Amino acid sequence: MKKIVYLGLGSNLKDRKAQIDEAVTRLAELGKVLAVSSYYETEPMEVARQPWFLNCAVALETERMPKQLLAAVLEIEQAMGRRRTQPKGPRIIDIDILLFGNSTAETAGLVIPHPRLAERRFVLEPLAEIAPETRHPVLKKTIRELRDGLGKGGGAVRRWGEEKK
């Protein structure tokens, strides 16, 4: 059965934009890319001492099951040269499954919806751009409501390429 999956992409090493572009191209091999948000320059969260990230959100229509999709995105990360060193540290590319249709899942290495989605502005801001009315299946709030609920918290985020003058 076809489902709409929302993915969060991030990069903070080397050519961030080229790597996000390449990841989107590779994701298109796993289904149909329905939407790609703007790219956002974002303050590093959780591990603060690392370069700023470029983040975006992608809507993908796919027939794959959650575990199959996870395996495929990990393969893309690997193929693009990601090496796992420091948890939550600098990376060439990170592809996280944020929402999987209306499903919830909890297995080794995969929790859906993404457990830290609601506290991360670098996820909610791009996601609100492409899926404002989509409802979180556990928290029962829309993405826009979750984003607005951050108030001033959740880390600094600005749309990339729109530097303040």
Shortest approach of ligand PH2 to residue 47 CB, angstroms? 6
> Is 148 a residue of the active site?
no
List 16, 64, 96, 147, catalytic entry: 96
Question: With CB under 5 A, what is the number of residues at the site for Mg ion?
Answer: 2
Among 31, 44, 126, 154, binds ligand PH2 (CB under 6 A): 44
Contact 127, 57 (CB under 8 A): yes
Question: With CB under 6 A, what is the number of residues at the site for ligand PH2?
Answer: 13
> Is 147 a residue of the active site?
no
Residue 55 touches which member of ligand PH2, Mg ion, none, C-beta under 5-8 Å by kind: ligand PH2
**Nearest CA among 44, 43, 45, 41 for reference residue 54:** 41
Please give the Cα distance from 45 to 12 (Å, whole number). 12
> Is 144 a residue of the active site?
no
Q: Which helix (H) or strand (E) holds 72?
A: helix 66-79
**What letter does residue 152 receive in the DSSP assignment?**
T
Among 53, 66, 128, 130, binds ligand PH2 (CB under 6 A): 53
Please give the Cα distance from 114 to 99 (Å, whole number). 7
Q: Return the number of the residue (44 or 66) whose C-beta is nearest ligand PH2.
A: 44
Please give the Cα distance from 5 to 165 (Å, whole number). 36
List 16, 26, 82, 121, catalytic entry: 82
Structure tokens, 96: 């996280």
Structure tokens, 109: 């290495």
Query: Rule CB under 5 A: is residue 96 a binding residue for Mg ion?
Result: yes
Interface region with ligand PH2, contact rule CB under 6 A, candidates 36-44, 65-73, 78-86, 141-149: 36-44
> Is 82 a residue of the active site?
yes
Contact 95, 23 (CB under 8 A): yes
Give contact residues for Mg ion (rule: CB under 5 A): 94, 96
